[in-house]
Amino acid sequence: MNERTEQHRERLAAHVFVCVNDRDSAHANCAAAGGEETFTAVTEWLRERDAYWTAVSVTRTSCLGLCSDDGTAISIQPRNTWYADVTPADVPDLLESEFGADAERVGGGT
């Protein structure tokens, strides 16, 4: 085991978790609400600003506990911000509010 917390903190300013959970049940799930499309929108927005994996990592995740038929759940850490009902169309405004129009605020809060 190799603990690398400080090395990771020096490289990344934030980590965006996008739920893509799929389940076979009557309950809402992010996969059915566009989870993969929202994940793609997040990565493309960050790539366009050269912030993807240089300052902000993005991870597909399982259930974040904010299930809805209206969109995907997203969490941005270590900011401890949580969003529900996020659609691909919401991503530019959401990420701009978190990181700035050109991702100039990836290292700090809003």
Q: Which residues contact 11 (CB under 8 A, 6 or more apart)?
A: 54
Compute the CA torsion angle 96, 100, 103, 106 (nearest 10 deg): -110
So what's the pLDDT on residue 97?
96
Query: What's the confidence (pLDDT) of residue 45?
Result: 97
- Give the tens place of pLDDT for each residue, 32-88: 999 999 999 999 999 999 998 888 999 999 999 998 999 999 999 999 999 999 999
pTM for the complete prediction? 0.88
Q: Which pLDDT belongs to residue 13? A: 85
DSSP-derived pairing of the beta strands 56-61 and 14-19: parallel
pLDDT band for position 108 (cuts 50, 70, 90): low
Domain ranges of the chain: 8-66
Contact (CB, 8 A) for 98 and 48: no
How does pLDDT run across 10-31, given as a tens digit for each residue? 777 899 999 999 988 788 999 9
Homologous superfamily of 8-66: Glutaredoxin (3.40.30.10)
